[in-house]
Amino acid sequence: MELVVQGQGIFLVVFCKAYLLFCLTVVLSCRLGNGLGVLALYYTTAKYYLNEYEMDQYLAGQQWVNPVIAAGLSGMLYKCTSGPKTMVLAGAVGALGMSAWVAADGFFFSKTSIRSSRGRRLPA
């Protein structure tokens, strides 16, 4: 009789831990998904208006300027209610992250590379 009670207790502990992990995952995934969705909307809107006003033409036609500025603006807009220091930090993180992405994209998928834009090898 004692083994059955201990077995049920272990089952109950495992079930409670699994349920807690599930609830935590659902809450965190919802917050993360909503945050990424908002950032995506901010970024696409900023990039659209930067392309519309041809901001890259003011800086000698560099194509990497618009995504970097859009990422910085979207980070700043996302954290604008947290204060000016946090807002500038978020903008810097966004701009640096997009700068790294643009640099990696130019390095791995440049026009002089032997790979096409989709990553497949071009015929020789």
Confidence of residue 15 (pLDDT cuts 50, 70, 90): low
The pLDDT tens digits for 23-47 are: 777 777 778 888 889 999 999 999 9
Q: How far apart are CA 92 and CA 66, in angstroms?
A: 15
Percent of the chain with pLDDT over 70: 75
> In sequence order, what are the residues at sequence separation of 6 or more whose Cβ sits closer than 8 angstroms to the Cβ of residue 121?
114, 115
Q: What pLDDT does 120 receive?
A: 53
Sorted by where each begins, the domain ranges of the chain are 2-107
Q: What is the value of pTM for the model shown?
A: 0.67
Q: What pLDDT does 93 receive?
A: 96
Using an 8 Å Cβ cutoff, are 47 and 67 in contact?
yes
Nearest to 50 by CA among 60, 58, 41, 38: 58
Q: What pLDDT does 110 receive?
A: 67
